[in-house]
Structure 1
Amino acid sequence: MVVNYKRNADLAEKTVTDIEEAGGQGFAVQADVETTEGVKALFDEVARRCGRLDHFVSNAAASAFKNIMDLGPHHLDRSYAMNLRPFVLGAQEAVKLMDDGGRIVALSSYGSIRAYPTYAMLGGMKAAIETWVRYMAVEFAPYGINVNAVNGGLIDSDSLEFFYNVEGMPPMQGVLDRIPAGRPGTVREMADTIMFLLGEGSGYITGQTLVVDGGLSVVAPPFFADAGEALALPPRPTRDA
């Protein structure tokens, strides 16, 4: 397994150590995939050390959290360079190394399908990534390569904490109360979904976006969480009831 990083060498090396302790093999590669040169350098190193590639998981992402009228041209340029372009260029390079088929998985987020404050920049890029996934699935299928995305809702992570600390952002609890599962997702649940898409059991799945959000994207106002006692959901039913 190849772990790419931009600055955090310690975390990358810890990830490699975790992989090796679990019985795998891996190494870290420093490359700034915000640049076209960085993407090429990353895959040049993969080619040099591995010769081929089975899977490519694209999770590079960053953005400014601002309302649309506060965004400048530099925000647009950097968001494209940090989110969409690394995925497209990375997929192009990955395909060249997948000489016996393979899997490509891109990480997306809830903001690609729902609109909420300050997320237009990143949400738009994630929506574009999901569109590219569908086109890639069609064009890469003859090479035996499946392409899918995993769309995470509220996932308990550093990124989630950062987002809800943006000045003026409503409290996270107001969203948690509306998630049918009643809690945020975990990084492990995202990883398990990615592993499914990389595994043999998903061989006939391509061009799809799997949503991991505890049911958040299927609820709509009026919300069950806001309903009065007369409409409250009953306790868990049993056969003895």
Structure 2
Amino acid sequence: MDLGIRGKKALVTGGTRGVGRGVVLALAKAGVDVITCYQRESEYVASLERELKEIGGDHHVLRADLSQPQDIAALLERARELYGKLDLLVNNAGTISHVPYKELPVEEFERIFATNVTGAHLVIQHALPLLGEGSSVVSIGSRAVEAGIPLRAHYTATKAALVGLSRSLAKEFGPQGIRFNVVALGVIETENFHAMPADQQELMAQRYGAKTALGRLGTPDEVAGAILWLASDLSRYVTGNTIGVDGGIS
């Protein structure tokens, strides 16, 4: 199906690994020009650059630490220079840690919020001059907001904050034709999953797959499908929503 998004311009934060990488590659294959960013040099960065070159298009993989406001400002200024506008913004960059709540240092609480919430807020704020009628902003959330997960209270709180942020911005910028939505993920098979020993992979797939209606884990490509839809005019009346891409997990 032709989604009518060929030639559109997108920024996907944190797109060299995992879900973000799947989104970047799916958009590029659909004919969208994509900017993405990374925090540290790695083989993931180099291999993504190679894949994007093979696909073709006007793509850019840039360094930016989204916990640093000056890096965010520089990233969006570069997007302005390269594209002049953005049709799609995907707030995918995030960080996580596992800490018992009674032992959670304020420094760690603030570190997680700095990237997951403040970073997303600043990316959106700096992107506003590039967004216009028909633009779509998508933040990657988590089903953890509804379920709750021990040792991740601080992480879950950041994902809940993204829901409130998106709903409020949907109301504020709806008259300008800019849409804001959250895609809430279940358990997705990424590089971290495949780096586990085979027995741990099997145990995790069985444990979490059994909690889903579909009986399996998700893939980055399946998350990308939802992003492609939200980038297209097929979703032009969808805003202020949280869309679960979770296999029907409960």
- TM-score bin, normalised by smaller chain: 0.7 to 0.9
| Residues 73 and 18 of structure 1, relative CA distance in 2, 3 Å threshold | same
Which structure: larger Rg? 1
Kindly provide the CA deviation profile for residues 127-177 of structure 1, in whole angstroms up to 9, marking residues without a partner as x: 110111101111111221111111110111135578x99xxxxx5333322
| 1:184 match: secondary structure | coil
- Structure 2 residue runs without a partner (length 5+): 1-33, 198-202
Q: Which moved more, 1:148-157 or 1:15-24?
A: 15-24
In the alignment, structure 1 segments of 5+ residues that lack a partner are 166-170, 218-241
Q: Secondary structure at the match of 1:216?
A: coil
Q: 1:119 aligns with which of 136, 149, 152?
A: 152
For residue 68 of structure 1, what is the aligned residue in structure 2?
A: 101
Partner Cα separation in structure 2 for residue 17 and residue 43 of structure 1: 23
RMSD (Å) for aligned C-alpha atoms: 2.0
- Which residue in the other structure is 1:182 paired with? 215
- Aligned pair count? 211
Q: CA contact under 8 A between 1:156 and 1:186: conserved in structure 2? A: yes
Structure-2 separation of matches of 1:199 and 1:20: 24
More off after superposition, 120-129 vs 47-56: 47-56
Alignment-derived partner of residue 229 in structure 2: 196
Q: Is the 8 A contact 1:3 1:12 kept in 2?
A: no
The equivalent residue for 1:107 is 140
CA gap of 1:118–1:159, structure 2 versus 1, over 3 A, is farther
Q: Which segment is superposed worse, 175-184 or 15-24?
A: 15-24
| Aligned pairs for 1:149-188 within 5 A | 149-159=182-192, 172=204, 173-188=206-221
Normalised by the length of structure 2, the TM-score is 0.78
1:147 aligns with 2:158: no
- Aligned residues of 1:13 and 1:28 also touching (Cα < 8 A): no
Cα distance in 1, alignment partners of residues 190 and 246 from structure 2: 14
Aligned-pair CA distance for 1:203? 0.3
TM-score, L = length of structure 1: 0.81
Q: What stretches of structure 1 move > 4 A for 4+ residues in a row?
A: 159-162
Aligned to 1:232: none
Is 1:207 aligned to 2:240, yes or no?
yes
**Distance (Å, rounded) in 1 between the aligned partners of 2:53 and 2:225:** 19
Match of 1:85 in 2: 118
**Take 2:194 and 2:158, find their aligned partners in 1: how far apart are those partners?**
20
In structure 2, give the amino acid aligned to 1:88: H
CA distance in 2, matches of 1:66, 1:203: 40
Counterpart amino acid of 1:78? R
Relative CO higher for 1 or 2, CA cutoff 8 Å, sep ≥ 6? 2
